[in-house]
Amino acid sequence: MSDDTASALAKPATTATKREPWSAYALTWRVPLLIWQFLFFVVPLCFLIYLSFWLVKNYRMIPGFDVVNWVKMYSKGYFWDAYYLTFAMAALATVVTTIVAFPCAYALSFKVSETTRRWAVFFLIIPFFTSYLVRIYAWQVIIAENGVINGLLSYIGLGPFIMLNTKFGTLIGYMALCMPLVVILQTFSMANVDRNLIEAAHNLGCGRLRTVFTVIVPLAKVGLIIGAVFCFILSFGDFVSPYYLGGSRPPTLSILIIDTTKSGQQWPKSAVVAVTMIATLLVVAFAAVATAYRKPK
């Protein structure tokens, strides 16, 4: 080994690169986004937190700073029942939607042509052209006791099954809301997986199923987790599905906000529920993103 080679190996490798200062061009595109986020997220969130400390006397809100609303809401059993139900239903919808969407996204990524994939993504976007409330009303007709599904099952001697105004109905609504988006995100993620790595896994003796879990899933981890996060966020804060398909009993947190505001104009207590929901979503989102971009050791 030569002296030059030895000295080169002895030098520590510098992994950190110096961050370039922001240019005027970069600021031109970043400042409007920062202003938008500040005006329409940070400011309303700060006001919502401040509102949670107001008091209600004689059906009128009085500005102040008192933790009585937090103490009262957190000491109520129905609040925690609604919280656990909302979290569990959103988590279940996330797991089910992710599992069901994966085969669809896998087929679009590896089993069809580029043209077919583009058309499939286009048709997955079409449901977002229609109001979500209209789609939920359509599902009422489909899963009602005398609806389309029970009508088809009656021909083979099954049913009727009660699906409307149940937790199953709420789950159907969550999946109708999130499924197209999750399939699209998973498809984009898996479509960018290097095919050479898949071929290398096959050449080394990996079967199809083992290749999926040891090669494709780790490489598409970011898209899979981001899709699951979006599903959880949309489901956790949804009001339409638990109200129109779940019957609003027992209530989720979004329905609890409406019920609380109707009982004596208790907007501060509703703000407590809303801030709790936002805090939960922020914790879940940051934890999921950190997991998605964590580099393997």
Q: Which tokens hold the place of 116? A: 């077919």
Tens digit of pLDDT for each residue in 160-169?
889 999 999 9
Q: For residue 90, what pLDDT is reported?
A: 97
143 has pLDDT over 50 = yes
Average the pLDDT over 26-52 and give the result. Answer: 88
Q: For residue 13, what pLDDT is reported?
A: 44
Average the pLDDT over 256-265 and give the result. Answer: 86
> Which of 1.10.3370.10, 3.90.1150.10, 3.40.50.2300, 1.10.3720.10 is the CATH number of 76-292?
1.10.3720.10
Percentage of the chain beyond pLDDT 90 is 61
Tens digit of pLDDT for each residue in 58-94?
778 888 888 999 999 999 999 999 999 999 999 999 9
Average the pLDDT over 242-260 and give the result. Answer: 92
Q: Which tokens hold the place of 230? A: 């979006």
Q: For residue 11, what pLDDT is reported?
A: 46
